[in-house]
Amino acid sequence: MSNRRDFLRTSLLATSALALPRLSRAATAALSVSGKVPGGVGARVVSTWDFGVPANQAAWTVLGNGGHPLDAVETGVLVPEADLRNHSVGRAGYPDRDGKVTLDASIMDGDGRCGAVAALEHIAHPIKVARKVMEDTPHVLLVGDGALEFALQEGFKKEDLLTPESAKAWHEWLKTAKYTPVANSENLDYHRTVQNLGMPGGKNNHDTIGMLAVDAHGRLAGACTTSGMAWKLHGRVGDSPIIGAGLYVDNEVGAATSTGVGEEVIRNAGSFLVVELMRQGRSPQQACEEAVHRIVKKRPEATKDMQVGFLALNRDGECGAYAIQKGFTYAVCDVQQQDRLIASPSLYQTTYT
């Protein structure tokens, strides 16, 4: 897969190149003469971290054939949820400090419909449950045992999500039993020395996947799913299932998602903030930068060693990203440039230790 990637370490200008969407005949007929949304770059999928590359490819099988962005993002994030090699999303996610794997996920359509689950145990695909919450209930968010009960009623299978590898990493952590939940752990040097034990920081360990998609009509959707911080307190919920924090989508403007320390994102209603800044005229890039600056300005000391990253996409298909710390990457997929992984610019150019 890596030889398919064009890992750009430079500016995000590369992401704004024009791209014509590959669409079904029916969808193409509905487009303007140019085959693009006026002013837009066409259909595009973006998502956080390197596991976004295969996830985007799965999403593109839907979006690139004229499917709805909501179906595309759900299909896309199923890939890392099922991947046993990553320990921060879905099955095989690292557990909380009690050894329980608890998952958070949300999904949102650009028309305002949304659904989410938080602290959900035993269900391998929380994003599917989030979509059921959206479609089969009058609610937005179900948590803990209630979310599990609902999932079982909906026909989901109860499973043990703690893999032997994740259990081993948890036991390793228990040796110190220091309560230090870890997010964006790939930047922590001390973990690299023990990555062969499956600790955070291993090659395939990245955090939340947040995925945003726009089709050639300017319709948007987003999905966000994670096992959250490794070794967190049981019951801790991050930003990912909170609409407006980890994810926000509005067809009138654009969409945003986040990764990193969820508490900081929740405090600042991060994804909502990014979308509202775009509504006021900022580009996706400018909006992500301003949101990061806002977070850092509010708690400069606390956020010095902390990672938060935002990814945004507007209804014209233009995208942008920004993070506090170096190391945040995101994947972009559209028909002209296919899929690629891009290094996000950041406020601090040094990784934290």
**In this structure, which long-range contacts are made by residues 176-181, counting pairs with CB atoms below 8 Å and at least 24 apart in sequence?**
179/97, 179/231, 179/233, 180/231, 181/97, 181/229, 181/230, 181/231, 181/232, 181/233, 181/236
Give the three-class secondary structure for 229.
Answer: coil
- Sole window of 109-117, 127-135, 222-230, 311-319 interacting with ligand ASP (rule: CB under 6 A): 222-230
Could you say which of 109, 186, 239, 250 contacts ligand ASP (CB under 6 A)?
A: 239
- Sole window of 74-82, 187-195, 224-232, 319-327 interacting with ligand ASP (rule: CB under 6 A): 224-232
Q: Which is nearer to ligand ASP, 16 or 259 (CB)?
A: 259
- The least CB distance from residue 183 to ligand ASP, in Å, is 4
Q: Which residues contact 174 (CB under 8 A, 6 or more apart)?
A: none
- The least CB distance from residue 295 to ligand ASP, in Å, is 13
Task: Report residue 147: phi and psi, to 5°.
Answer: -65, -40
The answer to whether residue 240 forms part of the interface with ligand ASP (CB under 6 A) is yes
Q: Which 122-141 positions form the footprint of ligand ASP (CB under 6 A)? A: none
Residue in 95, 137, 101 with CA at minimum distance from that of residue 116: 137
DSSP assignment of 64-127: TTT--HHHHHHHHHHHHHH-TT-SSSSTT----TTS---EEEEEEETTS-EEEEEEE-S-S-HH
Q: Which is nearer to ligand ASP, 50 or 334 (CB)?
A: 50
CA distance 263 to 256: 17
CA distance 21 to 232: 41
Residue in 93, 47, 62 with CA at minimum distance from that of residue 247: 47
Could you say which of 57, 75, 205, 226 contacts ligand ASP (CB under 6 A)?
A: 226
Residue in 131, 135, 145, 9 with CA at minimum distance from that of residue 76: 131
Could you say which of 67, 238, 320, 327 contacts ligand ASP (CB under 6 A)?
A: 238
Could you say which of 207, 289, 334, 339 contacts ligand ASP (CB under 6 A)?
A: 207
Q: Which is nearer to ligand ASP, 261 or 343 (CB)?
A: 261
Could you say which of 118, 229, 253, 319 contacts ligand ASP (CB under 6 A)?
A: 229
Quote the tokens at residue 324. Answer: 């506090």
- The least CB distance from residue 316 to ligand ASP, in Å, is 27
Residue among 48, 75, 208, 257 flagged as catalytic = 208
Could you say which of 115, 218, 262, 270 contacts ligand ASP (CB under 6 A)?
A: 262
Looking at this protein, which amino acid is placed at residue 332? V
The answer to whether residue 208 forms part of the interface with ligand ASP (CB under 6 A) is yes
The answer to whether 329 is a known catalytic residue is: no
Looking at this protein, which amino acid is placed at residue 157? K
The answer to whether residue 184 forms part of the interface with ligand ASP (CB under 6 A) is yes
Task: With CB under 6 A as the rule, give the number of residues binding ligand ASP.
Answer: 14
Annotated catalytic residues are: 208
Q: Which residues bind ligand ASP (CB under 6 A)?
A: 183-184, 207-208, 226, 228-229, 238-240, 259-262
